[in-house]
Structure 1
Amino acid sequence: MNIALLGYGRMGKEIEKIALKRGHSIVHKISSDISSFDFTSVDVAIDFSIPSAAYQNITHCIKHQIPVISGTTGWLEQYDDVVNMCETKNGAFIYASNFSLGVNIFFEMNAYLAKMMSQLEDYKVNIEEIHHTKKLDAPSGTAITLAEGIIQHTKYNDWKLDGSTNDVTLPIVAKRIPEVPGTHEITYTSSIDSISIKHEAHNREGFALGAVVAAEWIQDKKGVYTMKDVLNI
């Protein structure tokens, strides 16, 4: 595949390494205005840019019939617009708050545990996420996805970051520590015991590998997909 990298920060560089190892070519490394680049030779675009650039990057690709994979978080108020454009233009698009293959298994574990805990009202749940100090958004998109998985199956109807909550608002604690790739922990606590599940990334390679796998998978497809489709889970 010929890949355009939209955003060439630390994640973009990690994706480049993985893509080259898997026999692909990087034809663009874009950290500026996307409209000035020729996409004629591009087979797929992978967007790990910044929230303010993501919407333009994604829609530009859809308009030009380039399948696009996006792992940028913090722009999702425009997600429905992207979905509508993708359907109208017959494009191909995958967004994931986290492309790590392990994290996507963790999402499924989180939802399953929430179902089991939903009838046990003595347990209170909280989410803690830890990332590096250069991460621009808080809570992480992964933490929000985890919260949504819990809300779908329990009495909780909302989440709140780093503040007081009530019986139907799920607390998320976000910490920023240098050089932490990403840690997420879900804890159910009662007066008797605690139950926790945790995912800890050791480096960024897992995120990059998942994005490249998704880019390989979306070739010759049309529509809006998720990592559940890619992993068939």
Structure 2
Amino acid sequence: MNIALLGYGKMGKAIEKIAVDRGHQIILKVSSTTENFSLDAIDVAIDFSLPTTAVANISECIKNNVPVISGTTGWLDHYQDIVSLCHAEQGTFLYASNFSLGVNIFFELNKTLAKLLKGLPQYNVSMEEIHHTQKLDAPSGTAITLAEGIIEATDYKNWTLDAPKQNEIGILATRIENVPGTHEINYDSEVDSIQIKHTAHSREGFALGAVIAAEYVHDKKGVFTMKDVLNIS
């Protein structure tokens, strides 16, 4: 495939290496200083840009009939607008808060545990996410997805970075140098604790998942998620 990288930071460079190793070509690299670019001859675009540019990047791809996947967080107030545009243009779009294959399995494990503990109100849930100091948003998109999975399966109503009120999931967002990403969910009662945790060792897991997602969507039409890529029902 001929791939466009919309965003050429650390993730873009990691994706480039894995894509080339898997036999693809990177024929366009768009950085934050790029003013104009052409999507001619692009088979699929991978967006890891900035929240301020993601919507324009994704829209441009859809309007030019270029399948696009995005891992940029912080722009999701416009997600439904992008979905509507994709349907209107009969385009191809996939968003994931995290492309790691392991994290997407972790999402499903999180939902299952939440369902099992729904009827046990003595367990209070909390979450901690740790990322590198360059990460701009807090909490992470992955943490929000995890919280939404718990809310969907239980009586919790919301998440918060502040001291949680009743029916709120407290999220502690920590930033430490050179940490790719750790997400930990705790269920605590007076008598015991249950914990599940995912720890990323490098960016390569995220990059591999992004390339696999791009391979999946490049010849399809519609709006997809990583559950489609992994065939999770």
Task: Settle same-fold status: TM greater than 0.5.
Answer: yes
% identity of equivalent residues = 64
Matching of residues 6-25 of structure 1 within 5 Å = 6-25=6-25
Q: 1:101-134 CA deviation, whole Å, 9 max, x = no partner?
A: 0000000000000000000000000010000000
Q: 2-side partners of 1:99 and 1:225: how far apart?
A: 13
Q: 1-side partners of 2:27 and 2:141: how far apart?
A: 28
SS in 1 for 2:153: coil
Report the counterpart of residue 214 of structure 1 in structure 2: 213
Instruction: Name the aligned partner's letter for residue 187 of structure 2.
Output: Y
Q: 1:56-111 CA deviation, whole Å, 9 max, x = no partner?
A: 00000000000001000000000000000000000000000000000000000000
Report the counterpart of residue 4 of structure 2 in structure 1: 4
The answer on whether the counterparts of 1:132 and 1:177 sit within 8 Å (CA) in structure 2 is yes
Matching of residues 199-210 of structure 1 within 5 Å = 199-210=198-209
Report the counterpart of residue 126 of structure 2 in structure 1: 126
Indicate the larger mover: 192-201 or 166-175: 166-175
Instruction: Name the aligned partner's letter for residue 38 of structure 1.
Output: S
Report the counterpart of residue 107 of structure 1 in structure 2: 107
Matching of residues 88-167 of structure 1 within 5 Å = 88-161=88-161, 163-167=162-166
Instruction: Name the aligned partner's letter for residue 154 of structure 1.
Output: T
Q: 2-side partners of 1:33 and 1:133: how far apart?
A: 22
Report the counterpart of residue 185 of structure 2 in structure 1: 186
C-alpha spacing 1:33/1:220, structure 2 compared with 1 (3 Å)? farther
Q: 2-side partners of 1:61 and 1:34: how far apart?
A: 16
The answer on whether the counterparts of 1:35 and 1:60 sit within 8 Å (CA) in structure 2 is no
Report the counterpart of residue 68 of structure 1 in structure 2: 68
The answer on whether the counterparts of 1:125 and 1:188 sit within 8 Å (CA) in structure 2 is yes
* 1:36 CA displacement: 1.9
The answer on whether the counterparts of 1:34 and 1:57 sit within 8 Å (CA) in structure 2 is no
The answer on whether the counterparts of 2:32 and 2:49 sit within 8 Å (CA) in structure 1 is no
Q: 1-side partners of 2:42 and 2:73: how far apart?
A: 23
Q: 2-side partners of 1:65 and 1:165: how far apart?
A: 44
Q: Which runs of 5+ in 1 are unaligned?
A: none
Q: 1:189-232 CA deviation, whole Å, 9 max, x = no partner?
A: 00000000000000000000000000000021100000000000
Report the counterpart of residue 29 of structure 1 in structure 2: 29
Give the structure-1-normalised TM-score.
Answer: 0.98
* 1:167 CA displacement: 2.1
The answer on whether the counterparts of 1:160 and 1:171 sit within 8 Å (CA) in structure 2 is yes
* 1:37 CA displacement: 1.4
SS in 2 for 1:220: coil
The answer on whether the counterparts of 1:217 and 1:230 sit within 8 Å (CA) in structure 2 is yes
SS in 1 for 2:187: strand
Report the counterpart of residue 47 of structure 2 in structure 1: 47
* 1:7 CA displacement: 0.3
Instruction: Name the aligned partner's letter for residue 175 of structure 2.
Output: R
Give the structure-2-normalised TM-score.
Answer: 0.98
* 1:33 CA displacement: 6.8
